[in-house]
């Protein structure tokens, strides 16, 4: 390639490159930032959720130390504990499996041994409780003791088909 042709290509390509770079420029106008963090809006407060007799204790289920870890409660290598996502998935699956009629709050308590030790609901639904107990009653979660809540909403009278 001769020098004149190369110089011509550079002269033609230079404005195009400037236009591409200018088109990719981004700017943000951040105003009224919340001091110390990002304001994510209002949050729901579950308040006091009463424990329910869900049948988690006793001989109904395999002893906790003999249970296998549930893969849904095991996160990626850098974040091995995923209790919150596990509870959210179980609650959503049970909501759907029971016809989307549960209302209020579900509270799941994980003991230090990795097994669910208590369930709470402020508007108990026996079919939903049975579903959650079936999901957590034979599994372990390799996480420290914790409590997670799930809000089903109010006035649910069936699943909406998409």
Per the domain annotation, does 159 fall within a domain?
no
Per the domain annotation, does 143 fall within a domain?
yes
Confidence (pTM): 0.70
Per the domain annotation, does 107 fall within a domain?
yes
Per the domain annotation, does 101 fall within a domain?
yes
Per the domain annotation, does 44 fall within a domain?
no
Per the domain annotation, does 88 fall within a domain?
yes
Per the domain annotation, does 43 fall within a domain?
no
Domain that holds residue 127: 51-153
User: In three state form, how does the secondary structure of the chain look?
Assistant: CCHHHHHHHHHHHHHHHHHHHHHCCCCCCCCCCCCCCCCCCCCCCCCCCCEECCCCCHHHCCCHHHCEECHHHECCCCCCECHHHHHHHHHHHHHHHCCCCCCEEEEEEECCCCCEEEEEECCCCHHHHHHHHHHHCCEECCCCCEEEEEEEECCCCCCCCC
Per the domain annotation, does 139 fall within a domain?
yes
State the total domains in the chain.
1
Q: What is the pLDDT along the chain (162 residues), one digit of tens a residue?
A: 565 565 555 555 555 555 544 555 555 544 444 445 555 556 677 778 989 988 887 778 889 899 998 988 887 776 778 899 999 999 999 999 999 999 999 999 999 999 999 999 999 999 999 999 999 998 999 899 999 999 999 999 998 876
**pLDDT at site 100:** 95
């Amino acid at each position: 390639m001769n020098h004149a042709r190369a110089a011509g290509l550079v002269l033609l390509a230079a404005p195009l490159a400037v236009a591409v770079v200018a088109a990719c420029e981004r700017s943000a106008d951040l105003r009224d930032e919340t001091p110390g963090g990002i304001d994510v809006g209002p949050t729901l407060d579950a308040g006091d959720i009463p424990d329910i007799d869900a049948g988690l204790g006793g001989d109904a289920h395999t002893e906790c130390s003999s249970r296998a870890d549930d893969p849904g409660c095991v996160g990626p290598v850098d974040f091995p504990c995923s209790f919150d996502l596990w509870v959210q998935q179980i609650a959503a699956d049970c909501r759907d499996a029971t016809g989307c009629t549960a209302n209020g709050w579900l509270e799941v308590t994980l003991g230090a041994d990795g097994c669910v030790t208590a369930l709470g609901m402020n508007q108990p639904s026996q079919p939903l409780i049975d579903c959650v107990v079936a999901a957590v009653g034979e599994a372990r979660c390799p996480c420290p003791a914790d409590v997670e809540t799930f809000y089903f909403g109010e006035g649910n009278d069936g699943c909406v088909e998409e």
